[in-house]
Amino acid sequence: MSTVTHRQRLETCLSGEKPDRPPVALWRHFPVDDQTPEGLAAATLNFQRLYEFDFVKVTPASSFCIKDWGSKDEWRGATEGTRTYTHRVIQQPEDWYSLQALDPARGHLGDQLKCLSLLEAEFGPNTPIIQTIFSPMAQAKNLVGGEELLVHMRRYPDALHAGLKIVADTTQRFVEAVLETGIAGVFYAIQHAQYGLVSETEFAEFCKPYELQVLEAASEAWFNLLHLHGKDVMFDQVQDFPVHAINWHDRETEPSLAEAKMRYKGVLCGGLRRNESMVLGTPDSVTAEAVDAIRATDGQRFILGTGCVTPTIAPHSNILAARQSVEL
């Protein structure tokens, strides 16, 4: 058995050197369990103990960061483990001006800090933990709804900017509090760096300044992973973001892993399709896809994972095959 710890393996990968084997990590939602800090911590702990991934990505419901503004949602059985929003805080453009900064130590934000403290106490320094952080624009989408957000962006930009500033300031303070728990860093989820949603000019105005404000708060962390959600992503527009690795749906949209390795100097995370492979595939097909990804990157500056959350219905044997594939 290897005596290399998860942290040592990941640090070697981040340094650009080739570790004893490629790091691997999958993550998922834990519906129902994610409604209390103790429940989410226990579910996350059990998942990690079962598979022994090289880092733990803590995945609360997306509403955790906006519930204290009044958002409401319900668990309705989505296979990704996500919840359905039943009440939007922003009903009219002028409502953006009414948002007030949240205290990161109170309410649902404070609950998430408690969850991280519980996990950090269980895992210790050798198993890196990263906390999911949604970008201000992603939080704004959940506050108002996806289509309405784009309408507000184009028709009421001043109102949206006022809201984004409050969201960014709150998120910045929350990230600072997150790092005080001792975890390794953040999983920073960007949902609007997609050409099918916004233009490069719109991304530069409504997204990038707030992304950088939040990421600056995480700059002292040693492992920050950027997630580009969706298709036709703006890969080149985020290469200067202060993160250590990028994760995207590499099997579903450009660039491929091989192309990205030539364009980006940091670490890449991906290689596995979350539905076609992790849910509908077999252990053999999952292993073959993993081996292909490792070969495409030469196993250097690479973390094996899925392009986004692993669905809750992914079979145990497929998850285990992904974990064991890096040992071949």
Residue 188 DSSP symbol: E
Instruction: Check residue 298 and give its pLDDT.
Output: 97
Domain span at residue 216? Answer: 6-325
For the record, the structure tokens of 326 come out as: 């890096």
Instruction: Check residue 2 and give its pLDDT.
Output: 63
Q: Is the pTM of this model over 0.85?
A: yes
Is 48 part of any domain? Answer: yes
Nearest to 89, CA basis, from 132, 145, 159, 138: 145
Is 1 part of any domain? Answer: no
Name the band, by pLDDT with cuts 50, 70 and 90, for residue 269.
Answer: very high
For the record, the structure tokens of 151 come out as: 């309408």
Query: For 100-110, how does the pLDDT look when each residue is reduced to its tens digit (9 = 90+)?
Result: 999 999 999 99
**Cα gap 140→134, rounded to integer Å:** 10
Query: For 22-77, how does the pLDDT look when each residue is reduced to its tens digit (9 = 90+)?
Result: 999 999 999 999 999 999 999 999 999 999 999 999 999 999 999 999 999 999 99
Q: Is 284 exposed, middle or buried (0-12, 13-18, 19+ CB in 10 A)?
A: exposed
For the chain, give the mean pLDDT.
97
CATH number for position 120: 3.20.20.210
Name the band, by pLDDT with cuts 50, 70 and 90, for residue 204.
Answer: very high
In the sheet that holds 185-190, the strands lie side by side as 56-58, 129-134, 185-190, 225-228, 245-248, 267-272, 302-306
**Cα gap 126→136, rounded to integer Å:** 31
Is 317 in contact with 281 (CB distance < 8 Å)? no
Query: For 290-321, how does the pLDDT look when each residue is reduced to its tens digit (9 = 90+)?
Result: 999 999 999 999 999 999 999 999 999 999 99
Q: Quick one: which H or E segment has residue 269?
A: strand 267-272
Query: For 117-151, how does the pLDDT look when each residue is reduced to its tens digit (9 = 90+)?
Result: 999 999 999 999 999 999 999 999 999 999 999 99
Residue 78: what residue type? Answer: A
Instruction: Check residue 63 and give its pLDDT.
Output: 98
Please check the confidence at residue 1 and state whether its pLDDT lies above 60: no
* Number of structural domains the chain divides into: 1
Is 227 part of any domain? Answer: yes
Instruction: Check residue 9 and give its pLDDT.
Output: 98
Instruction: Check residue 95 and give its pLDDT.
Output: 98
Task: State the virtual CA torsion across 309, 184, 316, 39 in degrees, nearest 10.
Answer: -90
